[in-house]
Amino acid sequence: MFLELRQYTTHPSQRNNWVKFMEEVIIPFQVSKGMVIVGSFVGEQDENLYVWIRRFESERERERLYEAVYQSDEWVNNIAPKIPEMLDRDKIVVTRIEPTPASVIH
């Protein structure tokens, strides 16, 4: 099992719009495809920071879920086109992490 720590930078004054889009559109859509979303966060001091964490049981599962989400007509035609107006895609940072034995996330 591993997690993806995904750190995004929203365009100025777009973070609230991004959070709403994530919580009302992206997260429910990805969950409907089988993604496990562990958490969704905003920066306390950085007004443009958005962070979320997804959990995968294996690389094979991650590949299957990526295909189910990112190759779907819904993502390609309806969701993805709305992202650039809110998010600076050049600043996306994705880090794969594994919990330590004492972590509450497993």
| Domain limits for position 21 | 2-97
pLDDT at site 95: 98
**CATH code, 66:** 3.30.70.100
Residue 31 lies in a domain: yes
Q: What is the pLDDT of residues 42-72, one digit of tens each?
A: 999 999 999 999 999 999 999 999 999 999 9
Q: Is there a domain that residue 106 lies in?
A: no
Which pTM does this prediction carry? Answer: 0.94
Residue 104 in domain: no
The per-residue DSSP string of 63-103 comes to HHHHHHHHTSHHIIIIIGGGSTTTB-GGG-EEEEE---TT-
Question: What number of helices (H) and strands (E) belong to the chain?
Answer: 4, 4
pLDDT at 106: 75
In a domain, 102, yes or no: no
| 88 within some domain | yes
Q: How many domains does the chain have?
A: 1
Q: What's residue 51's pLDDT?
A: 98
Positions in the chain short of pLDDT 70: none
Q: What is the pLDDT of residue 75?
A: 98
